Amino acid sequence: MQVLADNLKHYRPPVLSPAKSQAVWYSPWTIKETPKGIYLYGDVGSGKTMLMDLFLDVVSGGKKHKNRVHFNAFMLDFHNKIHLWRQNPAAKKLGQDSAVDALVGDILRESPLLCFDEFQVTNIADAMLLGRLFNNLWSKGAVLVATSNRPPDDLYRGGIQRESFLPFIEKLKTNCIIHCLDSTIDYRLLNEKIRDIYYHGPKPKEHLDRIWDQLTECREGEPLVLQLLGRSLTIPVHFRGLARCSFEELCNQPLGPADFRIIAETFHTLILDDIPKLGPGVTRANEARRFITLIDELYNQKVKLVCSAACPPEDIFPREVDEKGKNEVSFGDEEIFAFNRVVSRLHEMQSKAYLESKHVLKM
């Protein structure tokens, strides 16, 4: 990573002119050959995100990097930009490829270095778009640094039309150095824990009521309506950046990444009531996926989570026992990795270091 950081100090992709580039580490002279990026993968808590943050501190001089985002947020934003681009009357006769071509330049003008945390592909819309998008980015000199729980060959495993996605994997391995960071220790669990903000004891409502009163000086709060892509999302109770919702209100409703993202950007603290054990049924599977997305978005924005639950984090996603007596997770492979990530993050979100981190405000 140090070699890449050194190369980036003198690299400018040919697609950008010096006047348009806003990257802070460029020098007046350039390296013409595009440096290889880095793809770090390994178990949760192995230090992938920490290494990326240290790398960015070096290449950006400690300043916030514009193209350092959670991969899910990047794809959500890119799909939204394609939608807006198509609203232009002149663009309606053109296909998606033209939209991608037009938008790639905007991405690179922010910076040729793209840094993605939690790189994963879980739906066909992203899988079919990635090949065109990244072929275009790499052909114009983009450099990718990414973290993931999966090696490249396991991305989108079992997905619909995966054979059409395989060329992207080969391009990824060509344009990035692939490095495994497997570890048997989740270092995030070593932080000092703060008691009772993840509560699974008796009288959970009374416990969260007391915390609400402490944080709001016994104010009642009121509803807040958030506007999102032409529709509204109602938060039942809020007060000065603090929101309170139940698991039922957020995870048993037809909400998605955009909904959870605007919640995470709007509130610095979320009090969440009644997280249940999530079983193998279809309804529970949908709730589990929404809960995973919710925690990912809260974590990415450094939102402080106070919650009550039916059990410790390790037991939220139970295992079934099959006829042979083997323990098997009753969801797909992608969910297994996501479960482990969420359990790890729920522990980290109780740590003093996390509680002292600054909320990432809506830009």
pLDDT at 345 over 80: yes
With 70 as the cut, is the pLDDT of residue 256 above it? yes
Binned at pLDDT 50, 70 and 90, residue 318 comes out as low
* Same domain (yes/no): 160, 239: no
pLDDT at 27: 38
| SS3 (DSSP) at 193 | strand
Q: How many structural domains are present in the chain? A: 2
Pair (321, 257) in one structural domain: yes
Please determine, for residue 225, whether its predicted confidence score (pLDDT) is greater than 70. yes
pLDDT for 294 beyond 60: yes
168 class by beta-carbon count within 10 Å (0-12 exposed, 13-18 middle, 19+ buried):
buried
Query: What is the structure's pLDDT at 26?
Result: 38
Instruction: Out of 41-50, 161-170, 274-283, 328-337, pick the least confident.
Output: 328-337
Check residues 229 and 157 and name the one with the higher pLDDT.
Answer: 157
| 59 φ, ψ (degrees, to nearest 5) | -80, -25
Same structural domain for residues 210 and 324? yes
Residues 160, 214, single domain; the answer is no
With b meaning 16 or more CB within 10 Å and e meaning fewer, what string describes 105-126?
eebbbebbbbbbbbbbbbeeeb
Alpha-carbon gap, residue 171 to 168, rounded angstroms:
5
Q: What angle do CA 259, 263, 269 make, to 5 degrees?
A: 155
Residue 43 lies in a domain: yes
Return the percentage of the chain with pLDDT > 90, whole number: 35
Q: Is 90 exceeded by the pLDDT of residue 236?
A: yes
Averaged pLDDT of the chain: 81
pLDDT 10s digits, 57-102: 888 765 555 567 888 888 888 888 888 887 777 666 666 667 788 8
| Confidence band, pLDDT 50/70/90 cuts, at residue 31 | very low
- Provide CB contacts within 8 A for 180, sequence distance 6+: 41, 42, 151
Q: Are 265 and 362 in contact (CB under 8 A)?
A: yes
Question: How large is the average pLDDT for residues 119-131?
Answer: 88
Residues 238 and 318 in one domain: yes
| 202 and 336 housed in the same domain | yes
Name the band, by pLDDT with cuts 50, 70 and 90, for residue 285.
confident
Same domain, 197 and 333: yes
- Band the pLDDT of 327: cuts 50, 70, 90: very low
In a domain, 262, yes or no: yes
Task: Kindly provide the b/e burial profile for residues 325-358, where b requires at least 16 CB atoms within 10 angstroms of the residue's own CB.
Answer: eeeeebbeebbebbbbbbbbbbbbbbbeebbeee
Asked if residue 361 is part of any domain, the answer here is: no
363 assigned to some structural domain: no
Q: Average pLDDT, stretch 131-150?
A: 91
> pLDDT band at 176, cuts 50/70/90?
very high
**Residues 207, 94: one domain?**
no
State the pLDDT confidence band at 321, using cuts at 50, 70 and 90.
very low
Within this chain, do residues 86 and 215 fall inside the same structural domain, yes or no? no
**Looking at the structure, do residues 98 and 230 belong to the same domain, yes or no?**
no
Last residue of a domain, one of 122, 153, 180: 180
220 and 335 in a common domain? yes
Instruction: Tell whether 170 is covered by a domain.
Output: yes
**Mean pLDDT (whole number) for 180-207:** 71
13 is in which domain, residue-wise? 2-180
pLDDT exceeds 90 at position 138 = yes
Name the pTM for this structure: 0.58
Q: Which residue has the higher pLDDT, 92 or 51?
A: 51
